[in-house]
Structures are given as C-alpha cells and as structure tokens.
A and B are shown apart, each in its own frame.
Chain A
Amino acid sequence: MTTETTTTSPRALARRRRRASAARFWRQYRTHRAGLFGLAALVLFALLALAAPLLVGSGVSNVTDAPGRPLQGPSAAFPLGTDQFGRDLLGLLVWGARVSLLVGLLAAVLSVAIGTLIGVTAGHFGGWYATVMMRITDWFLVMPTLVLAIALATVMSRSLTTIVVAIGVTTWPTTARLVRAQTLAVETRPYIERARALGGGHRHIMTRHVLPNVMPLVLAQTTLIISSAILAEATLAFLGLGDPTVVSWGGLLQDAREAGAVSAGHWWYLVPPGIAIAVVALAFTLCGRAVESVLNPRLGVGR
C-alpha cells in the first residue's frame, strides 16, 4: 500500500482545488441571469449544430435533388419556405449553424491565440521587442478591421480557411493589449521574482505563472470575440467573399439578396438567418460578459 490511500497526494489536491473553483465559478455564474439565458441559447444552438446530420442530413444542401419548387413561401412541408433552388430553408438554417459556429469558434481561437502570444511575450520581455510588437499591434488596431478582412479574403482563394484566417489575423490586437497589461501586472508580483530566483527560465515563467493568471481574461475575451467573429463571417459571406458552395447564415443572406428576395419581399428567406446570427452573437456576448464579471477580480466584489 502506498501513502496515496491514506494521505492526499498533491495531484488529488490540485484536482480537488480545481473542482472547488469550478463549483465556485458556476455558483457565481448562476447569479447572472443574462448569462444563463446566453448559455441556454448557446447550448441549444450547439446541440442543433451537432445533431444537424441526424436532424436534416447533409443532403439538405444538395441542389440537384431539392425537394421543393424555387422560392416557395412557408407551408406545412417547408416551415420557412424554400430558397431559389427549392431547398428547404429550415434545414439550411440548421445546417448553416455548423459553419457559422465553426468559423466563429476557429477564428476567435486563432485571434485570441495570436493576441495572447504577442501580449504575453511583449509583457514579459519588454524592451525593444515589446516596443516593436506593440507598434505592430497599434497598427492593426487602427486599421479598419472589416476592410482589412475583405482585402485578405479577396487576395486569398475562397474557402472557409481563408475566412477564418482573415478574421483571425485582423481581430487580435485588443486581446494583445489586454493580455499585455495583465502580464505586466502579474509579473510585478513577488512570487514571480521568487520563481526567477529559483532558476525559472522565461519559458517556465510565461507558461507556468503568467499564462494561468491571464487565462481567465483570455477565456472571457474568447467568448466575446466569438460573437464578433460570427458577425464578421456573416458579413464576409454576405459580401460574397465566402465559399459560395458552403451553406452558412451569411451565405444564405447573400443567396437571398442575389435571388432578389429583398426587392421581391420574400421575408422568410431573409429574416431567419438574420435572427439566428443576431441571437447567437447576443448569446455569446451575454455569456462573455457574465464570465468576465465572475472572473475579473476587479469586478468580483460587485455581486
């Protein structure tokens, strides 16, 4: 028998600590009603997107064997009508959630990853490196994001990767600034100095001490950026810069516009994707705000 059965090992301790903090987080999060609404909406959409292959099947985006006539109004068979190919719009809406959410998530992760990397290194190393990095960040910060994304999406080939990259590399500067500020604050704490005195290298300090401390901020930032990434994806697709063969909400709006649904007054084609985009973006924002106010020590006293 080892000692593990009687006394608690450090690993188990850490596990217990994490569980406790997660429970604490959830208790606090629960008090934010808007956050709960957002979470519920997100869970709903995530389930829909994950279950889409079962619910509607990948055949929903097929144009050759579309079930209806082009541009039918809502009916019992097609609750949201059909698009210009005669495809079921409700099915497309569900199917489009996959792409919209996926691109939103990936782009946000990419953006936050870049921002965190630059923020942490700039905060940690300081000196000329930080100066150069922050000037680059400033440069990206003052660039109109959408215009830059459009330019990028135009020069690269039309694909989902392009959209992800275009959004990712244009939205990171705010994260970089935030993370750098937090890094500077963390690095002035005495334990960092202790770690350094004990022989901790740059890498050790950044990954073991700084990163865990900026993580809450990064998490909150990610949730917030996802909503703007989903909007950016929809905007780019709407502007016709997405892959025309992929079904996404923005792409549906673009299809609707090209089919002349706006001037023809086919609201059932236009409104549902618009609402879906708005609701998901709102849900992520609400969650992000709730997470932020739970995790941000400065705001912790409020509630």
Chain B
Amino acid sequence: MDTRTGSLPGRVRLLAGAGAAALTLTASLATPLNPSPAQARAAGDGEKVLTVAVAQSVDSLSPFLAVRLVSTSIQRLMYEFLTNYDPEDARAVPGLATRWESSPDKLTWTYTIRSDSRWSDGKRATAEDAAWTFNKMMTDQGAATANGSFVGNFRKVTAASPTKLVIELKKPQATMTALDVPIVPKHVWEKVGDFSKFNNDTRFPVVGNGPFVLTDYKADSYVRLKANKTFWRGAPKFDELVFRYYKDQDAAVSALRKGEVSFVAGSPSLTPAQAASLEGEPDIRVNDAPGRRFYALATNPGARAKNGQKFGDGHPSLLDQRVRHALFMAVDREAIIDKVFRGHAVEGEGYIPPRFSQYFWKPSPARKLAYDPAKAARLLDRAGYRRDGDGRRLGKDGEPITYRVLCHATDPNDKAIGKYLQEWWGELGIGVRLDCLDNVTDPWLAGKYDLAFDGWSVNPDPDFVLSIHTCAALPATPKDTGATDNFICDERYDELYARQLAEYDPAERADLVKQMQARLYDLGYMNVMAYPNAVEAYRTDQIESITTMPAQAGNIYGQDGYWSWWSAVPAESGGSSGGSSSTGVVLGVVGGVVVLAALGGFAALRRRATAEDRE
C-alpha cells in the first residue's frame, strides 16, 4: 500500500492533489515499498545473492506453528526432514534419514539417521534430535499446532543410537515416508517455554541443518538466509537467499524488470496480464505450470470446538446441505477459469489437484454439481427458502439472506470472483457482502464468517490437506487454535480418514482418499473452484538454471522440498537490464498528464494568488 500522499499544507495540497491519484500510480511503479534499494546480485565482496519477491506474510518461523506456504517453504530450507520428495516424480528420497524399514506388522518403523549432517553451530544432528522433536509434538499441545496430524497415531519414539530412530505406532500409518515435519535441534529447542507462543524469531542466526541458515528476519520486510556450506547434499550455488516483500505485485514485477529481484512468485501467482507482458521481455522467463494448489470457497459449517462448544456466527441456512448445493450449482466454474484466470488454471473438481493423478478424483456426471442456476433456485425453494415480494430469499428468521464472504484483500482473484458471486447468487435472491481484509485470520478463527475464499497447497502425500477437515483438527476450546481449515467435522469422513491413514497398499489407499473427496464433495462445505497454475517469472541473466518440480512442467516457488533454491545456479554475466519500454510509455503518459494538470492548476492559482497579493 502506498501511503505517500500525506497531507501537505494549504495550496500545495490542492495542487499536488490535482494529480495525486495518478501520482500514487507512478509512485508505486517507480519505487517499491522498500526504502532501501534492493540488490539482486548485491554485495561488494562478490557474494551471489538470490532475491525472491514474495507477498505472503510469515505466520511464524517456528516449525511447530507455521502453516502458510511461505513459512513452510522457509522451514524446508532451514531444517532437514527425515525424508524428502524426488523432484522428478515426488517419490520419497533420503533426507535426514538414509534408510527406513518397517517391521512385518508395519507398526514399528526404524530410520537410519545420517551421520554427516551437522547443525549450524557445529553439533551433529542425531536420532536424538528427531526423537525429541516427535516426542515434544506428542506431549505438548502447543507443539502439535501445525503438524500434529502426523504424530497423532505414534505410540512411542526413541533414539536407540545416534543413527537409529525407532517409531512405534498404535495403528499402521501410511504417511511414514512422508512425514513433513522439520527436525529441530534438541539442545536449542529444549530451552523454549511455551511452544504455542514461541515464533523462533528472537535469536539469529537460527540453528539449523538445511541447505540454508536463517540469518535475519523482519516481518513483512525481508527474510534473509545464508547458504549452508557444509550441507550434506552439497552447498547451494548462491551464497545468500533473500525473500523480499513486495506487497504490491506490480512493484514486484517492475523490480524484476529492473533486475532488483531475480524471481517473482506472485501472490499467489502473476496475473494473466503480467505474465503476457513479461513473456516478451529479454532475459526473463515465465514459468507457467500446473499448480499444486486448490482454490475453493469454504462454507462455515457452524464453528465448534472439540469440547462441543459452538461459537462464531455463521448463517444458519448454510447448515442445510441443499442450500450449500444450491450455492455450489450457482457458481459457473468454467467462467471463472476463462474470465478470471484466463486459462491459467484448471477447473475445480474434487479436492486434490489433477497433478497428483494417483489421488485425483472427479465427480461422475450424475453426481456433479454442475452450473445450473434454475436447478439451484428450485433446490432453495424446496429447502423452504422462498422469495419475498422483492425477489429476495428469506431465511428461517424471516430476514433476507445476505452472506458475508471473507476475502483476502491482497488477492485480486478473490475480489474478482466475489463480483461474479454477487451476480450469480443475486439471481437466486441471495445477497453477498464481500469482506475483503488484509488479515482474514481473526474472523476466520472466530468463526465469524459465512463463506470464505480458501486455498491450500497439496503435498505429494495428501494426508495433511485431508486431515484439516477431520474432527480431531477442531480447536480444543473456542479460545484455542486448531489445525482445522473451516470447522468441518463429519463422522463418515473421519472414518475414511482413519482407514486411509492405516492403509499401506497404495492403490487401496488412493481409493480411500478418493472416497473421502467424494464425501467432502457431497457435503458441499468446500466448493473447489479451480486448480490455479503456478505463474512465476525469473531473470535468466541472474539465474542460469533452476529445478522445477516435477521436472517436466513444474513449479519453482513453494515446492515440496528445497530443490529450486538449492539447485539454482547463478548466471555468469550479471547483465543489468534497462527499464521496459511499455512501462516507460505508461510512466510517460501518466507523468505527462500529471504535469499538465498540475501546471494548469498552478497557472490558474498563480493568477488568483497575484490578485490576492496585489490587494
């Protein structure tokens, strides 16, 4: 946000005012929000710096609390996980563990921990650290906030020797080679008091054993990481990795054009217009790949806590499945793909994106809640929500229904689709009020919304995104924060979830996961509208090569691993690029208009002024 148009005294304000709106434009164009000049290849001592423009705020740097994409991606860089995913085909490959095997009853898993991984303070990373991490999550509610779903089924975790980790399970668990849990150094973290409050941002550098070491962080300003030269897989090619904040995506794009940043991830991706304009630029490559996110409209099913207490103020009509289905059917997903994403997305079906073909499920034509406003209206009539004289649907309390839709003020897609919703649902006689907030977390956690724009990145193992809709993920009390996405709690779904978690046969498990998606679809709480592509761009004169995941047509930012940043090779020639011509034209035109308007105004006012002065 640009707040540079402060108040100036008297006449100057009127003058400057004449073109202030246009000026805010040029200001946001010419100067990014950061006062200090950004440097992509920076540093006089020849250090190679990779600067990435991001927009999403870090929720926490603590591996026990962080759930946002930016934070979990940074965790990947800071800490080694037991296993990693192969960038080619996402199968489990060694991470901190070199080998793993299970007992014949599949209830005891033994991991061999590598001996060549060291914490950045020199101590060796051992099985003891891993055991402590898991034990902490099993015993401390606060430490289970983010990744509790992985350890809910653990009976006992022990370190038999520094290189041998043994995990005993209560029931078989399918995610044992996909435990997306950062292993933290015991000797540092055992001093932490309250895990639900500690954000890991007090002492730098943060001790870790990943490919990068976190050296500095300033909220919504930057995250700075240094290459870990002793990383067991080999040191990263860049010396430093900086995530720099550009809350304005256009500013990030112009920073990329000017070479101030090497990579723009977009929030969540570049707009079609931006991608189209960057495609023609020299030294810039646009990467448009099937994403691993789903983009949905989540319904408030009546927020409640595990202790049974209800809270929040979701609209009671949404508790009726027919109403949810009607809303579902009044959303034209094809139009969203075509008009809003302009083809840079795939139409939403079940829950898990088609990129994970193994788990991808789509409803049969008979089951599908296809776009059919007439049918939706009939369904609402049948559910007892009838129109009044003005054509508005009345709730059971006799008041016209108006849903509050929580949207992210930073995501243009939310607002754009909100406008469509307003018209589609308006046809049904249902009002829509868009609540676009910079911080949606507070009303969300408090259950104070009716519907909300929602989206998650899906891991190769879908356990996590499935777990956030189970009853176990609900907050313990209304005051607590649970791992739940939007308070869904359904017995049948939970039963299927437990069964898939215990299923070791991949085909059987995939089938169960599909059944879960079908159940979720039928419930109508989650309307998955699209699977947006990852549309990102980087400078080829700064980054010579970078690994996408999957290797063919994959994304770079927000991978299930550290491959992209770890593998990025700095380009030899640090050719700096000139400003783009089209931006120049816009700048020139806008600037010219402003100057003309200001001059005109000034001339007029000068004449008045002399008249006054003469007196």
A85 to chain B, nearest CB (A): 6
Across the interface, name the chain B residue whose C-beta is closest to A147: B3
Is B423 in the interface zone, CB < 8 Å from A?
yes
Docked pose: A301 CA to B615 CA in angstroms: 7
The interface-forming segment of B164-172, B521-529, B605-613 is B605-613
- B276 and A85 contact, CB distance less than 8 A: no
Within 8 A of A (CB), among B492-528: none
What are the residues of chain A within 8 A of B19 when measuring CB–CB?
274, 278
CB <8 Å contact, B250 and A263: yes
Please choose the segment from A2-10, A118-126, A285-293 that sits at the chain B interface, where 4 or more of its residues have CB less than 8 A away. A285-293
Q: Determine if B24 is an interface residue (Cβ-Cβ < 8 Å).
A: yes
In whole angstroms, how far apart are the Cα atoms of A86 and B340 in the complex?
10
A278 touches B18 (CB 8 A): yes
Residue from B273, B277, B419, B436 with most neighbouring chain A CB atoms (10 Å): B273
- Write the nearest CB–CB distance from A107 to chain B, whole angstroms: 14
Please encode chain A, from 153 to 167, with 1 for each CB lying within 8 Å of some chain B CB and 0 for all others.
010011000000000
A267–B589 contact, CB under 8 A?
Answer: yes
Check A239 against B1 for contact (C-beta < 8 Å): yes
B415 contact set on A, CB distance < 8 A: 244, 258
Cβ contact within 8 Å between B604 and A286? yes
Query: Which A251-303 residues have C-beta < 8 A from chain B?
Result: 253, 257-267, 270-271, 273-275, 277-279, 281-282, 285-286, 289, 293, 298-299, 301-303
Q: Given contacts A86-B339, A263-B277, A274-B593, are A285 and B18 in contact (CB under 8 A)?
A: yes
Q: Which residues of B contact A245 (CB under 8 A)?
A: 418-419, 422, 434
Task: Say which one of A46-54, A127-135, A183-191, A227-235 lies at the interface with B.
Answer: A227-235
Which has the most chain B C-beta neighbours within 10 Å: A66, A158, A250, A285? A285
Q: A235 vs B444: C-alpha distance in the bound complex, in angstroms? A: 28
Give the residue among A238, A279, A298 with the most B Cβ atoms within 10 A. A238
Q: Which of B25, B580, B614 has the largest count of A CB atoms less than 10 A from its CB?
A: B25
CA–CA, A86 to B270, complex, Å?
19
Q: Once the chains bind, are B435 and A158 in contact (CB under 8 Å)? A: yes
Q: Name the residue on B nearest A275 (C-beta).
A: B593
Bound-complex Cα distance A34 to B609 (A): 13
A300 to B, closest residue via Cβ: B615
B7 within 8 A of A: yes
On whether the beta carbons of B273 and A266 are closer than 8 Å, the reply is: yes
Interface assignment of B594: CB less than 8 Å from any CB of chain A: yes
Main SS at interface, chain B: helix
Tell whether A64 is near chain B: CB-to-CB under 8 Å: yes
A-B residue pair count with CB separations less than 8 angstroms: 195
* Complex contacts, B28 vs chain A, CB 8 Å: 257, 262
Closest chain-A Cβ to B451's Cβ sits at a distance in Å of 15
Q: Which residues of chain A in 63-90 are interfacial with respect to chain B, using CB atoms and an 8 Å cutoff?
A: 63-64, 66, 70-71, 84-86
Nearest Cβ on chain A to B336's Cβ, whole angstroms: 11
Are A71 and B608 in touch, CB under 8 angstroms?
no
How near does chain A come to B213, taking the closest CB pair, in angstroms? 33
A88 vs B340: C-alpha distance in the bound complex, in angstroms? 16
Residue in B257, B434, B597 whose beta carbon sits within 8 Å of that of A282 in the complex: B597
Chain A nearest Cβ from B55, distance in angstroms: 12
CA distance A257 to B25 in the complex (A): 8
A207 sits at the interface (CB 8 A): no
A281 to B16, CA, bound (A): 11
Contact partners of B407 in chain A: CB under 8 A = 244
- Whether, in the assembled complex, A21 has its beta carbon less than 8 Å from a beta carbon of chain B, the answer is no
Interface residues on B, range: 35 or more
Distance A146 CA – B608 CA, assembled complex (angstroms): 27
| Binary per-residue interface labels of chain B (2-39) against chain A in the complex, 1 for a CB within 8 Å, 0 otherwise | 11011100000110011111101100110000000000
Q: Is B248 an interface residue (CB 8 A)?
A: yes
A240 interfacial by beta-carbon distance below 8 Å: yes
Instruction: Tally chain A residues at the interface, Cβ within 8 Å.
Output: 64
Smallest CB gap from B427: residue in A: A64
The minimal Cβ–Cβ distance linking B415 to chain A, given in whole angstroms, is 5
Is A211 among interface residues, defined by CB-CB distance under 8 A?
A: no
Residue of B nearest to A38 (CB): B604
Q: Is B17 a contact partner of A281 (Cβ separation < 8 A)? A: yes
**Using Cβ atoms and an 8 Å threshold, which residues of chain A touch B412?**
258-259
Chain A neighbourhood of B574, CB < 8 A = none
Q: Which of A84, A266, A274 is B416 in contact with, Cβ under 8 Å? A: A84
| Chain A CB within 8 A of B601 CB | yes
Distance A299 CA – B615 CA, assembled complex (angstroms): 7
Q: How far is the CA of A278 from the CA of B18 in the complex (A)?
A: 5
Cβ contact within 8 Å between A271 and B590: yes
Residues on the A chain within 8 Å of B24, using CB: 235, 238, 253
B271 is an interface residue with CB less than 8 A from chain A: yes
Q: Which residues of A contact B276 (CB under 8 A)?
A: 264
**A62, A147, A245 pick with most chain B CB within 10 angstroms:** A245
B423 with A260: CB separation less than 8 A: no
- Scoring B residues 252 to 279 as 1 if CB is less than 8 Å from chain A, else 0, what string do you get? 0110010000000000001111101110
Known: A64-B420, A244-B434. A278 touches B3 (CB 8 A): no
Question: Any chain B CB within 8 A of the CB of A201?
Answer: no
In the complex, what residues of A have CB within 8 A of residue B1's CB? 239-240
Task: Determine whether A150 belongs to the interface, using a CB cutoff of 8 Å to chain B.
Answer: yes
Q: Which A residues have a C-beta under 8 Å from some C-beta of B?
A: 34, 37, 62-64, 66, 70-71, 84-86, 144-147, 150, 154, 157-158, 224, 227-228, 231, 234-235, 238-240, 243-245, 249-250, 253, 257-267, 270-271, 273-275, 277-279, 281-282, 285-286, 289, 293, 298-299, 301-303
- Between A and B, 20 residue pairs with Cβ closer than 8 Å are A34-B608, A63-B339, A84-B340, A85-B419, A86-B339, A145-B7, A231-B21, A235-B24, A244-B434, A260-B250, A260-B274, A264-B582, A265-B580, A265-B583, A270-B25, A274-B21, A277-B21, A278-B593, A285-B14, A285-B601
A244-B415, A271-B589, A282-B601 given; name 4 further pairs at CB < 8 Å. Answer: A228-B13, A240-B409, A282-B597, A302-B614
